[in-house]
Structures are given as C-alpha cells and as structure tokens.
Amino acid sequence: MESQIISVAERVQEIKPSPTLAVNAKAKALRAAGADVLNFSVGEPDFDTPEHVCQGGREAIDQRFTRYTPVPGILELREAIAKRFAEDKGWHYEPDQIQVSCGGKHGLYNMAQALFNHGDEVLIPTPYWVSYPPIVQLAGATPVSVPLSENKDFDLDPHVLESYVTDRTRGIILNSPSNPIGSIFSRTALEAVGRMALDKGWVIISDDIYDTIVYGQDTIPHILDVDDKLKEQTLILNGVSKSFAMTGWRIGYSLGPKHILAAMNKIQSQSTSNPSSVAQKAALAAVAGPQDFAEMMTEAFLPRRDFIINALISNEGITCVVPKGAFYVFPNFSAYYGRSFNDKKIGNSLEMADYLLDKALLAIVPGAAFGADDFIRFSFATSMEVITEGMKRLKDALAKLT
Ligand SMILES: *Cc1c(COP(=O)(O)O)cnc(C)c1O
C-alpha cells in the first residue's frame, strides 16, 4: 500500500464519492475495448456550438483578446446579460449585480461560499442535481433533502417542505426545469416558497440553466414573478452551457443583490481571477446575438422525448413523468428491483445500471446519484437511432429478469 504521510482535508473527506464513478469507469473500459455501448448518460446537448458563437471566440483570439479581464467578467457581456434579462423576463439588474464565472457550476460554488456559514441548513428538493449537496457541504453548510413525489409530478408540496424547516434553515435551491426530472415547479408551489422565504429571511437560489429548453409553453412560473420583494433574497444562476451547447467553454452567470455579488467577486478574485477571455467573447456573441438556437434544439428534442417515454412505459411496471423541460427522462424502475438474472438479484439503481451496462451495453445514470434510488436517468440528447436501438435492448434486458 502507498504510504499516506499527508492527509486529505476533513471537509473533502466528508464529501461522498459520486455513486456513479464505478459504472462510469466500467462504461469507459467497455468502450475502450471496442464494445458498442449506447450512451444515455450525457448531460449536455448533442449539438455543436452555433457558428456565430464560435466566430466570436475566433475573433477574440485573432484580436489577441487574451489577457486577464475584470474579475466579474467583461462589462460588455454583463451589460448584454442585463439587457437580455430585462427584455426577455422583465427583471432589471445592473452590471454590478452580475458575475460571469467559469461555468454555471462555478457560479453556484461562489454563491455557496459567499452565503453559507457552518451549521446553516440548505433545503434541496430531491431528486436533485448531483452537485448541490457537495457544493453546500464544501461551504460548511448542511444539505437537507426535501423529497418530491412522483405521483405529484415532482412538484414541491409546501406541507412537506415545511416539515423540513428548522431554526437553522438558511435557504433553498430551486431548479426548474430540473435535472434529472425535467419538472417545472407550479406557481402555487413557488408562492408557498416565496411566503416562507419572506417570512424567515431565506436566500433562494434559482438554477434556471434549462429555462430555454421548455416543451409546449411560452413562459414558466418563476420565483421572481411571485413577489417583487423576493428579488432582494434571490440569486439567479444561468449560463450558456445548455442553451447554446457551450458546455466546454465554461461560462455561467449569476445575478442577485449587489452585496452578495461583491462577496462572490472577492472569492472569484482569489480563486480563478476571471473566466477565460476568449470564452467570454464567444458568450457575448451568444447572449447578444440571435436567440433561436435553443428553440431549434427543443424542437429536435421533442419527438425524441415522446418516443423514449412511450418506449419506456411499454415495459410492464415502469412509470415515467413526462418532462416539461430539459432533455432527461427519469423513469421509475423500482418494479424491477428484487428481480434476478441468473440468480443474481438486482436490488437498487446502481445494480440496475450495472446490469444494463453488462447485458445491454446501455450507459445510464442510476437514480441514487440524484438522491432517488427508485429511478434511472436517461438523457435523450442523443440521436433517434441510438434511442430506438437502446429501447430495444432495454426491453430485451428487462424481459430476462425473473
Ligand atoms: C449543466 C447544469 C448546470 C451548469 O453547468 P455548467 O456546465 O457548469 O455551466 C447547472 N445546473 C444544472 C442543474 C445543470 O444540469
């Protein structure tokens, strides 16, 4: 065994390794060995970054826009974000209320570091995005899971929420449309959250990263539309990763009260300094340019969504809430837990993921990663051919379980 003279910090030891690491490693090894693994686990659009956005990046390089930028991001980009928010949503922010970060995830990290103290409790509707609990924990606070139920379309139930509130509750993280479910919180649920937040002085983090990928409705309920006063207590997280297929460029942005943004800038100034200058220019082309790209993607995703849902629920016992946004489905596989293949019992989502990878060469993400073991996440940001073949393989693999 390798000697361990130096030890890992306690706060990192407390973070649980991702439950999907083992399955991911196995999928990778199988692929490397030449196996025809169908990948339903990706969390990014299967489209290329639009040409005009790439052009923005190319011009930045050609013009040698390659030095440090202001800590919160270039003013032009923050102004473009402010303009887009004012025009599209009617929410008014000044550039000093906006921070551009190295991806949306990093914006959330900065928020948590700027907001939370040791012992603070942060409510996280569950199933949740995998990074919420560790980001809260790394800030010294405690993530508190608030279960959402499938039979309520995964909407937030105010009574359930209330039962998780304590004297230490500091805030809540909302994600609508959500990853992994694609659910959208109802106005009623958001009104209840807003009332509690106003009453108790909570901070609300609203992760809106999927708000341009919405099926069949023009506007969705938002916490800022519930009550004007909530703007003082809300931090908005968004970015170009999903809406412009720019996951690798690493540009996200946060909007909120000035003093919190100033604190986030302090953190950013002592960690990353600023996001990539070139990527900021590409993001500027995205935010200030034509906005039809997400609509084009959404139109392409819709028939895939409908196909995969129908294929999934054609398997006896599988139920699936229809996603209203994003590009994931989150079917309930628990009817198959307890069944066996060759005397090997499948007892949970990780074992199901392992089985589907071994026997059907399907790479998926087990629900345990999102705090909901009954479920499996399939991304439909992949071709119709892959989805069709994958659903055939799934049916065969499930039929072999006794
Ligand atoms: C993808 C994603 C983000 C942001 O991702 P970045 O690549 O860091 O911009 C934020 N929240 C959710 C729920 C996501 O799925």
167-182 as b/e: b if 16+ CB within 10 A:
eebbbbbbbbbbbbbb
102 Cβ closer than 6 Å to some ligand 1 atom: no
Whether ligand 1 lies within 6 angstroms of the CB of 208 is answered as no
DSSP, residue by residue, 281-348 = HHHHHHHHS---HHHHHHHHHHHHHHHHHHHHHTSTT-B-PPPSBSSEE--B-GGGTT-EETTEE--S
**Structural domains of the chain ordered from first start:** 10-48+293-399 (3.90.1150.10), 51-288 (3.40.640.10)
Distance separating alpha carbons of residues 77 and 75, to the nearest angstrom: 5
CA of 320 to the centre of ligand 1 (A): 23
Is the beta carbon of 129 within 6 A of some atom in ligand 1? yes
Q: Residue 247: which pLDDT band, with cuts at 50, 70 and 90?
A: very high
Q: Of all atoms in ligand 1, which is nearest to the CA of residue 108?
A: 10
Q: What is the pLDDT of residue 53?
A: 98
Task: Give, for 123, the enclosing helix (H) or strand (E).
Answer: strand 121-126
- pLDDT the model gives residue 1: 58
Question: Which tens digit of pLDDT belongs to each residue from 264-321?
Answer: 999 999 999 999 999 999 999 999 999 999 999 999 999 999 999 999 999 999 999 9
**204-236 residue pLDDT tens:** 999 999 999 999 998 999 999 999 999 999 999
**How high is the pLDDT of residue 16?**
82
pTM, whole model, 2 decimals? 0.97
Q: Whose CA is nearest to atom 4 of ligand 1?
A: 104
Q: Could you tell me the CA-to-CA distances from 197 to 154, 222, 252 in Å, in that order?
A: 20, 14, 25
Distance from the alpha carbon of residue 107 to the mean position of ligand 1, in angstroms: 10
- Dump pLDDT digits (tens) for 27-73: 889 999 999 999 999 889 999 999 999 999 999 999 999 999 999 99
Quote the crossing angle between the two packed helices 258-269 and 104-115, to the nearest 10°.
110
- Residue 247 CA: which ligand 1 atom is closest? 7
Ligand 1 centroid to Cα of residue 341, in Å, is: 36
Ligand 1 site, residue 127, Cβ cutoff 6 A: no
* Interatomic CA distance for residues 401 and 342, integer angstroms: 8
- Beta strand ranges found along 153-271 (DSSP E): 169-175, 203-207, 234-239, 252-255
Q: How far is the CA of 209 from the centre of ligand 1 (A)?
A: 6
Asked whether residue 250 carries a pLDDT value surpassing 80, the answer given is yes
**In the structure encoding, which two tokens stand for residue 317, read together?**
């016992």
For ligand 1, is residue 207 a contact (CB within 6 Å)?
Answer: yes
Name which residue sits closest to atom 2 of ligand 1, judged by CA. 209
Select from 350, 322, 317, 309 the least CA-distant residue to 335: 317
- Distances in whole angstroms, Cα of residue 120 to Cα of each of 15, 258, 267: 17, 22, 19
Residue of 179, 243, 246 to test ligand 1 pocket, by largest number of atoms within 8 Å of CB: 179
